[in-house]
Structure 1
């Protein structure tokens, strides 16, 4: 672990971590904006990811939505990396009180983190729009439960991923819990996010603690407000192995 970061962690007792896509790219999960990211897939599908992952597109073109969704957002082979494992270890040590993530892959929980607030939902959870029964990701990937790639409940209702699509509001309960955790923290570590996607990026404004740490490969609009800025891969910076 970076020695400067280690010193801040050692003197902190209520740490909150806020992370974005860069936390999972080291696990092989593509981000959105890099050259290999999802925003560069328009040629194959004929629509931008913003369009295909919108509520309107999901409602009007469920077959095309699910084709894109299953091919690009489900990564069963992905495993937690050094950053995920370090955060789980810090929670186990009683240092880290919450992980707030924009990611939808469930890798923080796979690594062992328990206090995780998923502001954009999770691909691992899916629910019937009619009876609200929940299903795991294996169910929706099983074509025997699908018609033209669209999964259906045993009651006949269409199943929707428990993921916040474009045009949809964030879950206010999750958001409220995240804000509460940030306001109580004496240290906030922000990693793997460019801090340009709102409203999630605005969460940093609720932090009034002692140490703000930003770890990202590129600069962010909040760098000038941080006590420590590290422009490097988060797994390398946070590794406790």
Structure 2
């Protein structure tokens, strides 16, 4: 039996699925990841500072203009569309099998595909707030801002993307809900993540079920513990799995 056929079989037998995903989930939608050969961290020679420096709270506060130049050019992909992975997960939620998507991504593609039970560990580019008055601004408003550093029209405060920067803590409620969902799952699908970014990666240790599926192109520290390992492109695999399933 092919790995994707096994995955389709396990999905069909499960009633409480959780998907834990990272940047590799969206690469087939045209959004670069961070650590692969074509990832953002390999472009350091083209950047004024290392990405992890520019994506820190300290850098944001001290060099907001450089931060936003980098953020707009490298982190925002408003034209990206969901791929086969996002679409299948949305279908699984509709069928009642998938209970939550726990994602490290900030692109909003799971919601664009139709998922509503999405726990965004690192925030979202679609939410932006004035640091003085907390007024909300959409991604479209951020993209249309004429100034390098977007400012609130009410009090001229800097508008900060609701994304978790280096030196910032993850939202505790989101963490708690993610742990709760993973600990109750009977099938955990892990996709498109190197499982090296903590504390997010450590959440999978709360899984108590019997079946773990790992879909990732590159090796991870969790490979030997997965019940099923798939290294083909996740969007293509999930597209084929969806065709094998009769959801309803």
Q: Report the secondary structure of 2:181's partner residue.
A: helix
- CA shift, 1:231, in A, is 1.2
Equivalent residue number for residue 122 of structure 1: 124
Cross-structure match for 1:210: 210
Q: Which runs of 5+ in 1 are unaligned?
A: none
Tell me the residue number matched to 2:153: 154
The match for 2:246 is none
Question: Which residue of the partner structure matches residue 195 of structure 2?
Answer: 195
Question: Which residue is 2:169 aligned to?
Answer: 169
Where 1:236 maps in the other structure, the secondary structure is helix
Shift of 1:143: 3.0
Deviations 1:43-91 (A, max 9, x none): 2322100000100000000000000000000001100001000000000
Structure 1 residue corresponding to 2:113, chosen from 106, 111, 114: 111
Q: After the TM superposition, which residues 92-103 of structure 1 pair with which residues of structure 2 at under 5 Å, given as runs?
A: 92-103=94-105
What is the TM-score when the length of structure 2 is the normalising length? 0.93
Residue 136 of structure 1 and its aligned partner are, at CA, apart by 0.5
Tell me the equivalent position of 1:83: 85
Name the SS for the 1:235 alignment partner. Answer: helix
CA–CA distance in structure 2, aligned partners of residues 15 and 25 of structure 1: 23
**Helix, strand or coil: the match of 2:229?**
strand
Alpha-carbon separation, structure 1, partners of 2:42 and 2:194: 18
> How many residues are paired up?
238
Question: CA separation in 2, counterparts of 1:227 and 1:41?
Answer: 34
- For 1:129 and 1:166, the matched residues in 2 are separated by 17
Residue number in structure 1 paired with 2:232: 232
Query: Secondary structure, in 3 states, of the residue corresponding to 1:70?
Result: helix
Which residue number corresponds to residue 15 of structure 2?
A: 13
Over aligned residues, Cα RMSD in angstroms? Answer: 1.1
Partner of 2:61: 59
**Structure 1 consecutive aligned stretches of length 4 or more whose deviation exceeds 6 Å:** none
Task: Give per-residue Cα distances to partners, 1:188-212, cap 9 Å, x unaligned.
Answer: 0000111111111001100001211
CA distance in 2: counterparts of 1:211 and 1:229, whole angstroms: 11
What is the rounded CA distance, in whole Å, between the counterparts of 2:86 and 2:8 in structure 1? 16
Deviation string 1:20-65 (CA, Å, 9 cap, x unpaired) is: 1110000000001123211123223221000001000000000000
2:73 counterpart SS class: helix
Question: Mind listing any 5+ residue stretches in structure 2 that lack a counterpart?
Answer: 244-248
CA distance in 1, matches of 2:20, 2:203: 9
Q: Using structure 1 for the length normalisation, give the TM-score.
A: 0.96
- Name the SS for the 2:31 alignment partner: coil
